[in-house]
Chain A
């Protein structure tokens, strides 16, 4: 982490250089939108796909937690001056992983297992960031993000015991995973360089992506399944 001094309040934030403010706004907006997209296109529809009341109600709770993450980031976005139109999902194309056409419970469990893992890595980098209000949101949401990823992994453990659903889980991995590393952005990113200079992120995009691929491989390996081979773009 850079030696950028802690920015403890929104008032202090407004005294920071423009490039710092812009960097924070980009990160906060990105998280607010990602949490909202995730809840809308995956978590809430998955209630209808879940096979039992237990799974449905648990998914309902997870959806509420994701919506709450969105609201926390959105409230901070409002406080730091992100324009309302920049927070409107109609004006901002979602990241590619949110365009995955989820239609089955197996797909949802894989999305939680591998998609929320990607979110965990993003939030991990914010746990010590220089903007304290953002750091605090990251620390508040992290336990729930970990639960959501574990939720996906636990259900996948159950699913792979059945030969037919095992095939469906592997198929969902094969189709969802190739887009997931793109969640971390391009190698050599100028934005990422600025984030690190401002003490907002710890690692380069390519470092986070490599870490993600390794962790995803471990998780999928425990299921005795495989990640598909992908070409990671520079």
Chain B
């Protein structure tokens, strides 16, 4: 995997969603066997920070169950040098976007970087396990790579920044 970060990561935060994004969200939720949920479009870093500080166990558990299944098929080295360079680059992209958005919260910036890192890890697991483009983690990766930050399912709504 190249350490280069596609230019769009964190670049469309708060921007309106298109049909492609709506399809990816629907595919992502269906792939995790979560009920279709209305989308909550998040407008600011502050709002995103408030949302992600709430528990979201059902959604998180669904993702973790799938991650665990994939890790029974494929394992990745968390100390791979190129991988770590990529995670640093994602942190940089989150920091730049936060600065543009008037956010100086180092914890939230790191959480955004961690969310992106987790999404790339999940994506790499799918590919290593031979999964295809319809896999929910590939759908989520597409949302991140398109510049958004999918925040997850809170209550009965899917939040995306």
Contact = CB atoms under 8 A, between A and B. Distances in A.
Interface in A41-62: 44, 48, 51-54, 56-62
Given A58-B107, A60-B118, A61-B113, A53 B151 contact: yes
A70 B84 CA distance: 11
Interface string B54-68: 111000100010000
Given A36-B79, A71-B79, A61 B84 contact: no
Given A57-B114, A60-B118, A62-B110, A52 B81 contact: no
Given A61-B111, A64-B117, A54 B55 contact: no
A54 B49 contact: yes
* Chain B at the A interface: SS class: helix
* Chain A at the B interface: SS class: helix
Interface in B112-133: 112-115, 117-118
Contacts of A211: none
How many chain B residues sit at the interface, stated as a range, is 20 to 34
Nearest to A72: B84
B87 A54 contact: no
Nearest to B113: A61
B114 A67 contact: no
Contact of A57 (B64, B84, B118): B118
A53 B79 contact: no
A4 interface: no
B111 A58 contact: yes
Contacts of A147: 106, 110
A154 interface: yes
B151 A61 contact: no
11 contacts: A44-B78, A52-B56, A53-B52, A53-B111, A53-B115, A54-B111, A57-B115, A61-B110, A64-B84, A64-B117, A68-B84
Interface of A: 36, 39, 44, 48, 51-54, 56-64, 67-68, 70-71, 74-75, 147, 151, 154
Given A57-B111, A61-B117, 16 more contacts: A39-B78, A53-B60, A53-B115, A54-B52, A54-B53, A54-B111, A57-B112, A57-B113, A57-B115, A57-B118, A63-B78, A67-B78, A68-B87, A71-B79, A147-B106, A154-B107
Interface of B: 49, 52-56, 60, 64, 78-79, 81, 84, 87-88, 91, 106-108, 110-115, 117-118, 151-152
